Structure 1
Amino acid sequence: MAYLGLVPSEHSSGKRERRGGITKAGNSHVRRVLVEAAWTYRHPARKTATLQRRAERTTTEIQEIAWEAQKRPCHRYRHLSRHGKLPVQVCTAIARELTGFIWAVGQQAEVRRP
């Protein structure tokens, strides 16, 4: 996540902790794509027929991660919005979480590689 710049900047010393906005370090194109993808989580999670057909070509572990990657960010988007966060801040938080799910799928794919 730090590689993509989706972590808060920090200026801490001793017991004092000061966190700022995202660092914007790393690959800006990937960060922009993730934030754009995060906007789709405004809508409820659902599995369309097209998504179901694509999912059938993958392992059950990856299917479970993918479904959780749909359900959890949708819920988190609604939760953060209800608590007064700005939509752009919510999308950045969702993009950061989406990065974690992508990493998890990559770990599963690496385990299955011969």
Structure 2
Amino acid sequence: MRASKTIRRSRPSGAGADGVRALGVDYAETAISLAQSRYQGTSGLSFQRWNAEGDEWATLPLYDVISSRLSYTLIQEKEKFLKDVRDHLVPGGSFHVMTPHAVRPTPARTPKHWNHSGRNQ
């Protein structure tokens, strides 16, 4: 998925009440359909089917934030993908990546304040 957060003094066209717009993209049509039905009517939020490696980046605007959730490991041409991401961030924008863990970290590598249930101790 890809998201953008645009904060301006005057509310941009299509933005929610808080002035934020977000675009979620996914390669899978089923993921887009599910998101559209789940968030139907949410102001400032839209979704589109899009392939980060096969579709044209030039059709997209610049973003304050780009997020790659659980898909970065599937990207074949990582260097090109990262260049495209960089080219579509506003100055000072940020890129967030979340990748899946194949296995849990060993106890020696797990911070003491964190446990596998996700709750702080």
TM class, shorter-length: under 0.3
The structure with more helix, counted as a fraction of residues: 1
The structure with more strand, counted as a fraction of residues: 2
Q: Which has the bigger relative contact order, CA under 8 A and spacing at least 6?
A: 1
* Larger Rg over CA atoms: 2
